[in-house]
Structure 1
């Protein structure tokens, strides 16, 4: 079973999974879990989810991919309204990964017992700033897009309107204070699958219609 993190009663859920005769669990986690910083709300629920899986007596694999390329879809409303993208954390580079590549690793782990007990940290092929993604989108869409760095106070206000404040604080801790370095490009994906991870350009071309 492929399992997302953060359920309120993860041990109870895993007990139900075990009683359902599931052969193994692949948990989606994140790179910040490696820090063990329980003062960060996002890291705290990732750590708790990983620990529940380890304590469950189910065969498991834990995946810690880098930031998702699909997070770029949050810019679609801005691109529907004009050619300017305003986004926070302009200096935070992320070695972003295509969710389809996460699915490839999850499929391997679900199908092959040799991955049991492993925790895999893996990334996309390039470190990207928000401005880099805008540049690639401009080329793919054939539009004169430009990037505008969003001030922290404005970003905090917008984020607080759509998520609990502890998670807003967590993202500012990651990307403004620098508690999470998600910029390193790792070879893990290619070592596992035998092919390089997809580029952001490939992702953008696949999802071109979402920005039309």
Structure 2
């Protein structure tokens, strides 16, 4: 398998309910255009918690390519981030995901409640952006 067929990521055991940027924009437009939301805050999420390997599996199906996921150790992840990411962000990522201070796997009903439709899945996002992966 060619090196380009391997997808590497930090925090391989951490599921995240990824939210489609389209849904973020739709929620933002909705709440900004309706005065009834003034002063309120909303926690939003995507519809399903997926680990990095799950997301790679979805991409492989959508792209019709064989992809393999390889998780990075904490030391490898930190080394790759250093020099490209400010130290305070690296430390926050490790507190959130390695130490468990943040649980981004929680699926919230907010998108459905505000927009009257389900949030888009990672698979829908991948299908809409498949051309960017060629």
Into which bin does the TM-score normalised by the smaller protein fall?
over 0.9
Q: TM-score, normalised by structure 1?
A: 0.61
Deviation at 1:122, TM superposition (A): 1.2
SS at match of 2:108: coil
Deviation at 1:195, TM superposition (A): 0.3
The runs of 5 or more residues in structure 1 that have no matched partner are 1-79
Q: Distance in 2 between matches of 1:157 and 1:122?
A: 31
Runs of 4+ that moved beyond 6 A:
none
Q: TM-score, normalised by structure 2?
A: 0.96
Map residues 31-50 of structure 1 onto 2, 5 A cutoff: none
Q: Which residue of 1 aligns with 2:69?
A: 147
Deviation at 1:82, TM superposition (A): 1.3
Q: Which residue of 1 aligns with 2:54?
A: 132
Q: Distance in 2 between matches of 1:81 and 1:132?
A: 19
Cα-to-partner distance string for 1:153-212 (whole Å, 9 max, x where unaligned): 111011012011111111011111111001011111100000000010110011111111
Map residues 81-120 of structure 1 onto 2, 5 A cutoff: 82-120=4-42
Q: Is 2:117 aligned against 1:172?
A: no
The runs of 5 or more residues in structure 2 that have no matched partner are none
More strand by share: 1
Say how many residue pairs are matched: 133
Structure with higher Rg: it is 1
- What CA RMSD, in Å, does the superposition of the two structures yield over aligned residues? 1.2
Q: Which residue of 2 aligns with 1:210?
A: 132
Deviation at 1:81, TM superposition (A): 5.5
Q: Distance in 1 between matches of 2:13 and 2:100?
A: 10
SS at match of 1:108: helix
Q: Distance in 2 between matches of 1:96 and 1:197?
A: 10
Q: Distance in 2 between matches of 1:111 and 1:184?
A: 27
Structure with higher RCO (Cα < 8 A, 6+ apart): 2
Q: Distance in 2 between matches of 1:123 and 1:167?
A: 21
Q: Is 2:71 aligned against 1:158?
A: no
